[in-house]
Structure 1
Amino acid sequence: MTIRTAVVTDWAAIWPFFAEIITTQETYTYDPALTYEQAEAIWMSPSSSPLARTTVKVDADGKVLGSANMYPNRPGPGAHVASASFMVDAAARGQGVGRALCSDMIDWAGRSGFRAIQFNAVVESNTRAVKLWQSLGFAIVGTVPEAFLSPTHGYVGLHVMHRPL
């Protein structure tokens, strides 16, 4: 499996799992009514920063298994802290795709001169992601209570997670 920079033509392979993930409304605050074009603009061009990057993890046949986008968390005086989002196709979950994408992002952030990484809105009930991020050195530095409405769990918190570089 390989991680590479995403190209425009990758969006057609990312969209099906992106759409599935946002419409379940369990792990992301994205509007589930996003159109193909709106979602593409968000995911494939995550920031106007020259440091913004979108990647895909592909199998030996070139099939896209997951994707990440990464960017400065805030502009100006906050631009020394990176952030990112990750999505993995349901058929590839549990195979280390998310871990590989995040490890690649951590390496990229360090090479790019960021001082830390901050995830702004990790859904509290997304325990697999929370555990994965913690295993990669992220700590929960705060939780906004009941900031996310999960169809399954009701109102749950959104964790802010941080990792120094």
Structure 2
Amino acid sequence: MTIRPATPADEDTIWAMLEPVIRGGDTYALPRDMTRAAALAYWFAPTNAVLLAEADGQPLGTYYLRPNAMGGGDHVCNCGYITAQAAQGKGVARTMLADSLDRAREAGFRAMQYNFVIATNTRAIDTWERAGFDVVGRLPDAYRHPAQGYVDALVMFRAL
């Protein structure tokens, strides 16, 4: 697997990964009817470094890396990860996480924080905890899950 910076030429590929996740509504706090243009503007925001994971020319996942805050908080980064549906359960998220931790260190970040991990996303939570992230906050009923109703969101943190 290789992970490389994404380019505008990758927008169709990335949208193909983003759309089912956004429409599903169970892992990202984004509008389920978000347009392609709005989703790509969110993913490719000017503050984001966007990466694409591939193997043998097949897209496996994408993630962004960005400062979590501005000013005095810009030494902490934030990431968002999406694994292509056909690649789920094959270690893609773990590989992108390891890559993001390395890139974050190289960029001078001192910590990584996930601001809004939906508590029902147990696969992601398990992956992040195995990588050394701690749950440092719980936001009761902060997310309206399309199938499970109101569920908690977690704040997760790891020093680099």
What is the TM-score of this pair, normalised by structure 1? 0.94
Structure 1 consecutive aligned stretches of length 4 or more whose deviation exceeds 3 Å: none
User: Which residue of 78, 87, 90 maps to 1:95?
Assistant: 90
CA distance in 1 between counterparts of 2:65 and 2:156 reads 15
Larger displacement relative to structure 2 (74-83 or 31-40):
31-40
**Hey, what does 1:86 align to over in structure 2?**
81
* RMSD of equivalent CA atoms: 1.0
CA distance in 1 between counterparts of 2:7 and 2:41 reads 13
| 1:33-85 deviation line (CA, Å, top 9, x unaligned) | 221111111112252xxxx310010011x121100001000011110000000
Gaps of 5+ in 1: none
**Hey, what does 2:52 align to over in structure 1?**
56
- Give how far 1:23 is off: 0.8
User: Which residue of 148, 156, 160 maps to 1:161?
Assistant: 156
CA distance in 2 between counterparts of 1:104 and 1:40 reads 22
- Give how far 1:17 is off: 2.1
**Hey, what does 1:15 align to over in structure 2?**
15
CA distance in 1 between counterparts of 2:44 and 2:9 reads 10
Amino acid of the residue matched to residue 51 of structure 2? Answer: T
Gaps of 5+ in 2: none
CA distance in 2 between counterparts of 1:158 and 1:9 reads 34
CA contact (8 A) 1:55 1:67 kept: yes
Q: Secondary structure at the match of 2:95?
A: helix
- Give how far 1:119 is off: 0.3
Aligned length: 160
Q: Secondary structure at the match of 1:45?
A: coil
CA contact (8 A) 1:67 1:88 kept: yes
**Hey, what does 1:151 align to over in structure 2?**
146
Amino acid of the residue matched to residue 70 of structure 2? Answer: P
Q: Secondary structure at the match of 1:128?
A: helix
- Give how far 1:11 is off: 1.2
- Give how far 1:154 is off: 1.4
**Hey, what does 1:38 align to over in structure 2?**
38
**Hey, what does 2:4 align to over in structure 1?**
4
CA distance in 2 between counterparts of 1:103 and 1:23 reads 27
CA distance in 2 between counterparts of 1:65 and 1:56 reads 8
**Hey, what does 1:141 align to over in structure 2?**
136
**Hey, what does 2:26 align to over in structure 1?**
26
**Hey, what does 2:70 align to over in structure 1?**
75
What is the TM-score of this pair, normalised by structure 2? 0.97
Amino acid of the residue matched to residue 83 of structure 1? Answer: N
